[in-house]
């Protein structure tokens, strides 16, 4: 082919015909191609970074790199550049958006969280106005607490969780599985420690957070959507049981199923509407495809924010249990 010279191993190039300095940009991006600017052979310009696969990394690592959202490095990448994000529910291939200002999933919605739960995922409330004290070591590998009066629980709630909001000593607040219940005592599935002190236990009619799911900063954009699916198990009675999902203070799911043993809420959407700090979603007490007034919030989704599935019971000795959740995002 005219004008092309093949260089074999061991060969050397003849010296060029030009002389003097070559002038280029004041700065460049690591890995960027270099092109001649004009025909003088003395002026150079940036040619962009060639199509590249950045490899596998976490979202935090990508945002700490030279290819973060809004960076010069991202803008210089070819449109078919890609990266695999790890650390979410499954690896996600991401590509630059059309104007190369942020990363988006290569195939629509992708999961950030997906989990089936088998422990510390339920809430059951005791009678109100009950105080609790730490009992002596029951010598069964558990911690026993004793009620000041009739707490209302029976063995029907063994395996479910009490919400302990505080201990007077070194005990940690949180959900504790019940392993034994009688008229005045209950055992918690944690090894006894005399330093725990006395607990404060949430009574009925208390909304209890079952999971706090932190969404990553810098991911959501002005038109991004979240899609949330939850599966719940309940005491089957005519009493009210509350299945709740909140973003900030706003409940995007707030239903009270009764006389059923379960509830499945599928693909409930929360949409940013022209701003990372303005959201709308379906009416919280309707089906995901139902009508009615919209739920709204003003959460800054460019920063880290939380999605919180919660439960509440209005009747002692009954429970609400979160069995599974999925949170997907379409950037």
Q: Is the pLDDT of residue 6 over 50?
A: no
In a domain, 1, yes or no: no
16 domain residue, yes or no? no
326 shares its domain with 216: yes
Which of 146, 172, 201 is the C-terminal boundary of a domain?
201
Residue in this structure with the two tokens 């790199």, named with its chain if needed:
65
Q: Is the dihedral of CA 34, 36, 37, 41 positive or negative?
A: positive
Question: Is the per-residue pLDDT at 283 higher than 60?
Answer: yes
Contact status, residue 153 vs residue 316, Cβ threshold 8 Å: yes
CATH code of 284's domain: 2.60.120
Choosing from 178, 201, 224, the residue where a domain stops is 201
Residue 274 lies in a domain: yes
Judge contact between 233 and 321, C-beta under 8 A.
Answer: yes
Asked whether residue 8 carries a pLDDT value surpassing 80, the answer given is: no
Q: What do you get for the CA distance between the two ends of the chain, in Å? A: 47
Q: Are 77 and 33 in contact (CB under 8 A)?
A: no
Q: For position 281, what pLDDT does the model report?
A: 95
Task: Report the alpha-carbon distance of residue 128 to residue 150 in Å, rounded.
Answer: 10
- Decide if pLDDT at 1 tops 60: no
Q: Are residues 235 and 323 in the same domain?
A: yes
160 with 229, same domain: the answer is no
The predicted structure's pLDDT at residue 2: 41
Structure tokens at 308: 């919180």
Given a contact cutoff of 8 angstroms between Cβ atoms, the answer to whether 81 and 53 are in contact is yes
Take residue 313 and report the two structure tokens written for it. 């019971």
Same-domain status, 99 and 158: no
Q: Report the pLDDT averaged over residues 155-171.
A: 96
pLDDT for residue 310 is more than 50: yes
Same domain, 81 and 146: no
- 282 inside domain: yes
> Would you give the DSSP letter of residue 216?
P
Please check whether residue 14 lies inside any domain of the structure: no
- For 29-48, what is each residue's pLDDT tens digit? 666 667 777 887 778 777 66
Q: Is residue 11 part of a domain?
A: no
The CA distance from 72 to 68, in Å, is: 9
Residues 300, 277 contacting (CB under 8 angstroms): yes
What total of structural domains would you count in the chain? 3
In a domain, 17, yes or no: no
What are the b/e assignments for 252-290, b being 16+ CB within 10 Å?
bbbbebeeeeebebeebbbbbeeebebbebbebebebee
Indicate if the pLDDT at residue 165 is higher than 60. Answer: yes
Query: What is the overall mean pLDDT for the chain?
Result: 90
Does residue 139 contact residue 167 with C-beta atoms inside 8 Å? Answer: no
Query: Strand locations in 279-318, DSSP E?
Result: 279-281, 295-297, 305-313
Tell me the residue range of the domain where 71 lies.
31-106
Task: Among 201, 233, 261, give the residue marking a domain's end.
Answer: 201
């Amino acid at each position: 082919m005219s004008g092309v010279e093949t260089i074999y191993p061991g060969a050397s190039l003849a010296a060029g015909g030009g002389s003097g300095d070559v002038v280029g940009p004041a700065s460049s991006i690591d890995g960027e191609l270099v092109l001649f600017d004009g025909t003088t052979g003395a002026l150079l310009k940036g040619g962009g970074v060639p199509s590249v696969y950045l490899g596998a990394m976490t979202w935090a690592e990508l945002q700490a790199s030279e290819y973060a959202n809004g960076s010069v490095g991202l803008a210089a990448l070819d449109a078919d550049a890609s990266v695999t994000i790890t650390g979410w529910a499954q690896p996600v291939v991401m590509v630059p958006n059309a104007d190369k200002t942020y990363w988006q999933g290569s195939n629509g919605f992708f999961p950030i969280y997906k989990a089936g739960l088998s422990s510390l995922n339920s809430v059951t409330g005791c009678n109100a106005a009950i105080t609790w004290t730490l009992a002596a070591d029951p010598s069964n590998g558990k911690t026993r607490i004793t009620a000041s009066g009739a707490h209302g629980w029976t063995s029907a709630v063994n395996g479910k969780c009490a919400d302990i909001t505080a201990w007077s000593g070194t005990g940690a607040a949180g959900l504790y599985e019940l392993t034994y219940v009688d008229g005045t005592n209950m055992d918690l599935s944690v090894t006894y420690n005399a330093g725990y002190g006395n607990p404060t236990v949430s009574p009925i009619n208390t909304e209890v957070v079952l999971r706090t799911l932190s969404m990553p900063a810098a991911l959501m954009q002005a038109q991004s959507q979240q899609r949330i699916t939850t599966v719940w198990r309940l005491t089957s009675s005519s009493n009210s049981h509350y299945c709740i999902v909140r973003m900030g203070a706003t409940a995007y799911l707030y239903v009270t199923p009764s006389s059923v043993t379960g509830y499945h809420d599928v693909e409930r959407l929360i949409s940013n509407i022209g701003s990372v700090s303005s959201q709308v979603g379906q009416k919280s007490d309707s089906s995901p495809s139902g009508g009615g007034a919209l739920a709204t919030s003003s959460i800054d989704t460019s920063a880290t924010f939380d999605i919180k599935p919660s439960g509440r019971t209005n009747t002692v000795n009954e429970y609400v249990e979160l069995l599974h959740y999925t949170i997907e995002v379409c950037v």
